[in-house]
């Protein structure tokens, strides 16, 4: 079956695929979503052309995240180019109840009466809209629950003076004597960072100097904050020898505060030249 004609426009099946995080850039999940959604479209509307809209590594839960392919799909729906919308499930389209309501209006204006999920089935957008609204509410609540759990875990790690999972340049993953995760300095990378900072300060475009100062202030704040957390936890240790060793290690890391101070002073001096 060829694409449906609507006022001279050949309509397509809109396949929307998305994954929130793809740090490696492999897009493996969106590839799987595309394959399964195309299979669903072929079984329901044989022969109709498919247009894929792919937002890889973008969240649908954050209203501040712009999804260019989602926006392009909405534009094509408004132009009458889309006959049906297929995704893995409603969560792929949006995790925000307000955005779901906006989508329902766009779909209804284009004469589309339902969305299709190869996992969660058909969701009506005409007549009773209860099913879609319940799905949107459940999805939003799930996201909020995940955020709470993540924040609780990060607070716990911060209170223990332990790394929170990220691996900044200049560090490597390690473990302490009790097998807990740590971040250990990679001296070659640290030297490269110092060289880069000195090079920027020596001959950088003055317009970027404020960025250097902000980075130095952020590093200083992170170091001193981590130092407080370490000290309060060390004070609670019963083994004084281990506490002393940890405090000595902490003082070594806090030497970088002096580097941040020198960077800030140098920036102020360069700006005044």
DSSP code string of 56-110: ET--SS-TT---HHHHHHHHHHHTT-EEEEEESSHHHH-S-HHHHHHHHHHHHHT
Contact 174, 181 (CB under 8 A): yes
Q: What is the pLDDT of residues 17-44, one digit of tens each?
A: 998 765 555 555 889 999 999 999 999 9
Contacts of 201 (CB under 8 A, 6+ apart): 209, 212, 263, 266, 267, 270
pLDDT given at position 66: 92
DSSP, collapsed to helix, strand or coil, labels residue 181 as: strand
Give φ, ψ of 53 to 5 degrees.
-115, 110
Distance CA 245, CA 261 (A): 26
What does the pLDDT look like over 156-199, one tens digit per residue? 766 665 656 666 667 777 777 777 777 677 788 778 777 776 77
- Domain locations in the chain? 5-143, 171-272
CA separation (Å) from 158 to 51, 161, 191?
46, 5, 26
What average pLDDT does the segment 37-52 reach?
A: 96
Higher-scoring residue by pLDDT: 102, 25: 102
Nearest to 15, CA basis, from 65, 88, 108, 119: 88
* pLDDT score at 12: 96
The pLDDT assigned to 2 comes to 47
pLDDT given for residue 24 in this prediction:
54
With a threshold of 0.75, does the pTM exceed it?
no
What is the architecture of the domain spanning 5-143?
3-Layer(aba) Sandwich (3.40)
Residue 48 and residue 41 in contact, taking contact as beta carbons nearer than 8 Å: yes
Across 5-14, 158-167, 237-246, least confident range: 158-167
Measured CA to CA, the distance from residue 40 to residue 247 in angstroms comes to: 60
Rounded-to-integer distance, Cα 84 and Cα 41, Å: 9
* Pair 267, 212: CB distance under 8 Å: yes
Residue 204 clears pLDDT 70, i.e. is over it: no
Q: How far apart are CA 37 and CA 250, in angstroms?
A: 53
- The Cβ of residue 51 has, within 10 Å, a number of other Cβ atoms equal to 16
Query: How many whole angstroms separate alpha carbon 61 and alpha carbon 89?
Result: 14
Question: How many other β-carbons are positioned within 10 Å of the β-carbon of residue 113?
Answer: 13
Strands, E, within the chain: which ranges?
Answer: 5-6, 9-10, 12-19, 50-56, 82-87, 114-117, 121-124, 171-175, 181-185
Looking at residue 7, its pLDDT comes to 58
């Amino acid at each position: 079956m060829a694409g449906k004609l609507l006022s001279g426009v050949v309509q397509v099946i809109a396949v929307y695929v998305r994954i929130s995080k793809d740090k490696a850039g492999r897009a493996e999940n969106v590839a799987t979503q595309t394959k399964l959604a195309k299979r669903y479209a072929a079984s329901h509307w044989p022969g109709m052309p498919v247009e894929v809209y792919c937002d890889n590594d973008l969240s649908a839960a954050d209203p501040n995240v712009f999804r260019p392919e989602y926006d392009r799909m909405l534009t094509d729906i408004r132009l009458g180019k889309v006959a049906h919308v297929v995704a893995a499930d409603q969560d792929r389209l949006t995790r925000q109840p307000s955005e779901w309501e906006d989508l329902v209006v766009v779909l209804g204006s284009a004469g589309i009466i339902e969305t299709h999920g190869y996992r969660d089935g058909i969701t009506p957008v005409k007549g009773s809209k209860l099913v879609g609204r319940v799905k949107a509410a459940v999805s939003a609540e799930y996201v909020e629950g995940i955020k709470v759990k993540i924040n609780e875990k990060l607070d716990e790690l911060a209170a223990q003076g332990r790394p929170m999972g990220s691996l900044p340049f200049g560090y490597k993953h390690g473990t302490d004597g009790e097998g807990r995760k740590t971040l250990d300095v990679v001296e070659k990378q640290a030297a490269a960072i110092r060289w880069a900072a000195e090079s920027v300060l020596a001959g950088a475009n003055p317009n970027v100097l404020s960025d250097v100062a902000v980075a130095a202030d952020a590093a200083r704040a992170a170091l001193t904050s981590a130092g407080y957390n370490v000290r309060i936890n060390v004070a609670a240790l019963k083994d004084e020898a281990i506490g002393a060793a940890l405090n000595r290690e902490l003082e070594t890391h806090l030497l970088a505060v002096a580097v941040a101070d020198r960077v800030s002073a140098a920036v102020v001096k360069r700006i005044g030249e």
